[in-house]
Structure 1
Amino acid sequence: MHDALGLSDDIRSQADRLAASGYLALAPDLYAGDGLRCVLATLQASRSGGGRAYQHLEAARRSLSERPDCNGRVGIIGFCMGGGFAVHCAPQYEFQAASVNYGEVPKDAVERLRGACPIVASFGRRDLTLRGRAERLEHALTTLGIPHDIKEYPDAGHSFLNHIGGGPVIGTLLRVTHFDYHEPSADDAWSRIVAFFDEHLRNPRARTPTDDGEDRT
């Protein structure tokens, strides 16, 4: 699930990374609608937990689960705005794992996350926009007894998994505001995400061989 900047080359590269780990990967474009109105509605939906965007996400989930080369177990991964969608989708739909990367966590997380699938989440301690969210999510999932792996990276800020780009001026601004890529944290987060997905999404008994002889989740 893409961030507030939309379906960028960076998000496509994140999908490619999952595919390289042996997963089917789909990156839906939630901004494919009515211009600015669609963007604003999607941003609001990522925080509220309701709206048309969730219909698209559920359609994407069903599309993957019904493919003959899928074992029927589907995960969701989101960055920034997409992380907020991952939080809300975890209890609403039949996902088997969710990866939340610096996504908003509602204040009433204990109530909102009842029945959620297992969640792996990564935050940056230098992210001033999401202070306390890692602790809030950890508390909710622990209270509810939901399997989870939550980590806050001390040297990372917001968007530390994303290569936003934009030239030297934008790059400097991103670094100053702690919205930049942080390689050590990103590498560790990806290792945790793939390990978590492997644990909760792979089912050797249900895998279907592809034409090239490889098993895909």
Structure 2
Amino acid sequence: MAMMDVRTLEGDGSFKAYVAEPEGAARGAVIVIQEIFGVNEGIRGKCDRWAALGYLAIAPDLFWRIEPGVELDPDVGEQMQQALGLMGRFDQDQGIKDIEATIRAARHALPDGGKVGCVGFCLGGRLAFMTATRTDIDASVGYYAVMLDPLLHEKHAIARPLMLHIAGADHFVPPEQQKAVHDALDDHPKVVLHDYPGQDHGFAAEMGSRRSPAAAELADRRTEEFLAEHID
């Protein structure tokens, strides 16, 4: 398993990130932002898939300050509870700084002018939105992002393309929250929203009981086309 060290923005430490490299010259870089389950097999699989498409793919261990290297399975009840506990302890503002540090590391690894995008899932979807509003990333994609409504006041800061995939039957994101996202972002010139009626949270997971293949393949195809347009 290929890993890299990423220096913090403050320069006072470093953290691990899983890295998957393409066969030839990279088309760009994709930061894969974890769910609440850590950089587990599913997230590493996402990286491997992006590398197969020609991108440098990096998944930073964002829980490194509270439980470095943790890998959890959402289909195991005890591990799901552990993951929810980690999310409650996680400093998301600090997490964005670590994502920004990863963006810098990715740009350093690319030829001059190489662009960097991010793709996040669940908590990572929320962080992808925050990355779009708080960093200079070139493009961002969030899948079934949680708790976006308290962040929507930051929409004025979205300066580069953002795509959000919304699970219509998401048991973590009720209809009123989904409506708030649409009301705030439908007319934003940099934002594209896609709805997946009847789909629950986690429908694009690489593995496990949450995956819904047809919806996952549609969302992933849209993401591939979006990033090809904006970071190639």
Task: Return the TM-score normalized by structure 2.
Answer: 0.71
**Rounded Cα–Cα distance in structure 2 between residues aligned with 1:146 and 1:94:** 17
> Structure 1 stretches of 5 or more lacking a match?
166-170, 172-179, 203-217
Q: Are 2:104 and 1:74 equivalent residues in the alignment?
A: no
Alignment CA distance shift 1:24-1:128 (3 Å): same
Greater length-normalized contact order (CA 8 Å, ≥ 6 residues apart): 1
1:156 to 199, 202, 220: 199
> Structure 2 stretches of 5 or more lacking a match?
1-32, 68-81
Q: Are 2:38 and 1:6 equivalent residues in the alignment?
A: yes
Q: Deviations over 1:66-102 (max 9, x none)?
A: 2243633211110001011001110110011111101
Alignment CA distance shift 1:6-1:108 (3 Å): closer
SS at match of 2:164: strand
Alignment CA distance shift 1:21-1:137 (3 Å): farther
What percent of counterpart residues are identical?
25
Contact 1:102-1:159 within 8 A present in 2 as well = yes
Q: Are 2:133 and 1:91 equivalent residues in the alignment?
A: yes
Q: CA deviation at 1:109?
A: 4.5
Aligned amino acid, residue 154 of structure 2: R
Alignment CA distance shift 1:122-1:53 (3 Å): same
SS at match of 1:16: helix
**Rounded Cα–Cα distance in structure 2 between residues aligned with 1:41 and 1:72:** 34
2:52 to 5, 20, 24: 20
Question: Greater share of helix residues, 1 or 2?
Answer: 1
Contact 1:83-1:102 within 8 A present in 2 as well = yes
Q: Are 2:231 and 1:189 equivalent residues in the alignment?
A: no
Contact 2:142-2:163 within 8 A present in 1 as well = yes
SS at match of 1:195: helix
What is the number of equivalent residue pairs in this alignment? 182
